[in-house]
């Protein structure tokens, strides 16, 4: 097994944390969404997407144990389990150890990948009938949402509500794209430019269009867009299914120093 590229002591973990929080903030205020954005950041949607997660803590050591207990009491009023991403710069520095003392086992939290965009390879071969368009209005976003639902296999009206509210103007940091084969939409994705970094979210291809390179072509186009925006590198949090796709485009396994802990309410 290859050793992950160690990026824990770079600026990348702070950028990733800021980018993830910026993504979650897009959904703040929508029905059934609960969010606390203070010295601790947590988000609850009661749905698989965008999920339920704790993404930041900045506490004094002598207050931390009481804050952890109070946090789980508060979250326990909404649901009985949640994931917690602890970043290497979170405070106190022994936060992960304190969570482990409560029976929470930490891990890398899935597939974290990184690429040096100076090493971006050639564009994947694709049918000349394939094209990519950026979503520019609510009607196109509705088509984006429908196709994403077919790809992810679930109801995603919360995405439409959040992204339509965010808008499509020059100040938007969440940008959405549809790949078409002729006039048939076949794949979708989002580019999120926030926190001093840009990355890809929401990449989805319905089952009947998979295996034809559409997702890879869209991913490559978004990687090139990120490079054109002036970024030297990018990262992605990949599903098991998509990991090999990203690796084929040059992404490598990376360790950003964050650890995921799972909390379950005691019964």
- CB contact at 8 A, 205 and 214: yes
Closest CA to 50 of 90, 22, 12, 91: 22
Percent of the chain's residues with pLDDT above 90: 95
What's the CATH superfamily of 116-255? Gcn5-related N-acetyltransferase (GNAT) (3.40.630.30)
pLDDT in tens, 120-151: 999 999 999 999 999 999 999 999 999 999 99
Q: Report the alpha-carbon distance of residue 41 to residue 53 in Å, rounded.
A: 9
- CB contact at 8 A, 217 and 255: no
Q: How many CA atoms lie within 13 A of 222 on its CB side?
A: 31
Mean pLDDT throughout 146-165?
97
pLDDT in tens, 228-245: 999 999 999 999 989 999
Q: What is the pLDDT of residue 1?
A: 62
Q: What is the pLDDT of residue 92?
A: 98
Both structure tokens of 36: 């606390």
Q: What is the pLDDT of residue 267?
A: 72
Mean pLDDT throughout 198-220?
97
Q: What is the pLDDT of residue 209?
A: 97
Class of the domain covering 5-110+256-264: alpha beta
For 14, 16, 26, 86, 231, the CA distances from 8, given in Å and listed in that order, are 10, 11, 27, 12, 19
Domain with CATH 3.40.630.30 in the chain: 116-255
Q: At what angle do helices 157-166 and 138-152 cross, to 10 degrees?
A: 150
pTM score of the predicted model: 0.96
pLDDT in tens, 51-64: 999 999 999 999 99
Mean pLDDT throughout 108-120?
95
């Amino acid at each position: 097994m290859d050793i992950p590229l160690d990026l824990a002591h770079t600026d990348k973990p702070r950028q990733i944390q800021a980018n993830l929080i910026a993504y979650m903030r897009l959904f703040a205020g929508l029905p059934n969404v609960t969010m606390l954005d203070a010295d601790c950041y947590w988000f609850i949607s009661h749905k698989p997407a965008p999920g339920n997660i704790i993404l930041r803590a900045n506490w004094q050591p002598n207050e931390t144990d009481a804050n952890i207990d109070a946090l789980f009491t508060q979250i326990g009023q909404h649901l009985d389990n949640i994931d917690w991403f602890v970043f290497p710069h979170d405070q106190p520095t022994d936060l992960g150890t304190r969570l482990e003392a409560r029976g929470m086992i930490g891990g890398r939290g899935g597939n974290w990948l990184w690429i040096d965009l100076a090493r971006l390879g050639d564009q994947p071969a694709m049918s000349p009938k394939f094209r990519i368009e950026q979503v520019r209005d609510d009607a196109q976003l509705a088509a984006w949402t429908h196709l994403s639902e077919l790809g992810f296999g679930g109801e995603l009206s919360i995405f439409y509500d959040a992204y339509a509210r965010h808008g499509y103007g020059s100040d938007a940091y969440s940008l959405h794209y549809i790949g078409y084969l002729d006039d048939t939409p076949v794949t979708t994705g989002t580019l999120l430019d926030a926190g001093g970094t840009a990355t890809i979210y929401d990449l989805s291809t319905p089952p009947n269009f998979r295996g034809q390179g559409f997702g890879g072509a869209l991913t490559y186009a978004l990687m090139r867009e990120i490079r054109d925006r002036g970024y030297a590198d990018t990262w992605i949090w990949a599903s098991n299914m998509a990991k090999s796709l990203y690796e084929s485009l040059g992404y490598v396994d990376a360790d950003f120093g964050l650890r995921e802990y799972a909390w379950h309410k005691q019964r």
